[in-house]
Amino acid sequence: MAASSDDRGNERSGGGGEEPEERTDGWMATYADMVTLLMTFFVLMFALSNADTEKAQMFMLALSRDGISAEQFWEIRDRYNIDLEDHDWDEFFPFPGPGDDAGDAGGLAALEAIYNAIRNYIDSEDIDGEITVIYEGEFLLLRLSSDILFETGATQITPEMRGKAEFIAKILKDTFDPRHPMEIIVAGHTDNVPISTPQYPSNWHISNERAGNFLWVLLSESELSPRYFSSRAYGEYKPIANNNTEEGRAQNRRVEVMITLARDNPLWDDD
């Protein structure tokens, strides 16, 4: 028997003529989310109203690494007795470097303190002819004659000059400020008279070993972290005087100690 048009209409609409079920509780999920967010917001507002400003600054520093100045950082560290080694802080929270006024001021003050201590030592011992000190604001340079430091053709520091090297190391230990870490570079130089021995085949070799031996005295006696130190060997290729005279060659035979705030310094640039 053929279905009537009314029956076919009922089939298309789902049959039975029943109205579709309507859900009326969907708003509860949205309402619950809103209540949760409001509660979280009020808890956060309450926490912020009782926040320690300095602890908040420490938190910001941990996030940004440059959120506060070095001076504020160390003041907060000391106030809360934070138990971490200095080098840990240096590694994970670097201090303001060149270009930051607070960082530059503190670093320059540390350099000046080292210069004044070494200058006073030179004057008191009347050894101006043995050690030359140059201070140019962003770097400090010590220049020592190899003729005084070492025997001819040797690389071990003489006993007399070792005492002076140890005193320089003590000055570094007493004046070095770990809040403003610097780089200490020891460089060996020779004249242009060639050397060729089984132990030192060239001027490169002897200048390298002399620099390393002097660096070792500074490192061991100052007890500073080795990461502040490096050495360089220039042989005869960085003269400061004319190698055509004995006086000039004597000036070129030297060890230099550079203490600097920046790794790139004009003094080390090629001519």
Q: In the structure, what pLDDT confidence band is assigned to residue 120 with cuts at 50, 70 and 90?
A: very high
- Look up the CATH number of the domain holding residue 197: 3.30.1330.60
Verify that 234 and 197 share a domain, yes or no: yes
The reported pLDDT for the residue numbered 43 is 78
In a domain, 25, yes or no: no
Verify that 204 and 183 share a domain, yes or no: yes
Verify that 153 and 180 share a domain, yes or no: yes
CA-based Rg of the chain, rounded to a whole angstrom? 36
In a domain, 8, yes or no: no
Where helices occur in the chain by DSSP H, the ranges are 5-12, 27-49, 53-64, 70-79, 86-92, 101-125, 146-149, 159-175, 203-222, 246-252
In a domain, 243, yes or no: yes
Q: Which residue has the higher pLDDT, 209 or 40?
A: 209
Q: In the structure, what pLDDT confidence band is assigned to residue 18 with cuts at 50, 70 and 90?
A: low
Distance separating alpha carbons of residues 142 and 163, to the nearest angstrom = 16
- Token pair listed for 241: 């005087």
Verify that 126 and 204 share a domain, yes or no: yes
Distance separating alpha carbons of residues 162 and 104, to the nearest angstrom = 33
Verify that 88 and 193 share a domain, yes or no: no
52: exposed, middle or buried (C-beta count within 10 Å: 0-12, 13-18, 19+)? exposed
Verify that 202 and 80 share a domain, yes or no: no
| Residue at a domain's end among 44, 66, 95 | 95
Verify that 170 and 70 share a domain, yes or no: no
Amino acid at residue number 179: R
Residue 74 domain boundaries: 52-95
Q: Which residue has the higher pLDDT, 89 or 41?
A: 41
Verify that 237 and 140 share a domain, yes or no: yes
Verify that 109 and 91 share a domain, yes or no: no
In a domain, 214, yes or no: yes
Verify that 76 and 203 share a domain, yes or no: no
Q: In the structure, what pLDDT confidence band is assigned to residue 38 with cuts at 50, 70 and 90?
A: confident
Give me the number of domains the chain comprises: 2
| Residue at a domain's end among 95, 115, 149 | 95
Verify that 86 and 112 share a domain, yes or no: no
Q: Which residue has the higher pLDDT, 100 or 104?
A: 104
Distance separating alpha carbons of residues 170 and 178, to the nearest angstrom = 15
In a domain, 233, yes or no: yes
Q: Which residue has the higher pLDDT, 105 or 12?
A: 105
Residues 253, 189: contact at Cβ < 8 Å?
A: yes
The reported pLDDT for the residue numbered 98 is 41
Verify that 149 and 203 share a domain, yes or no: yes
Distance separating alpha carbons of residues 217 and 149, to the nearest angstrom = 12
Lowest mean pLDDT, pick from 31-35, 56-60, 129-133: 56-60
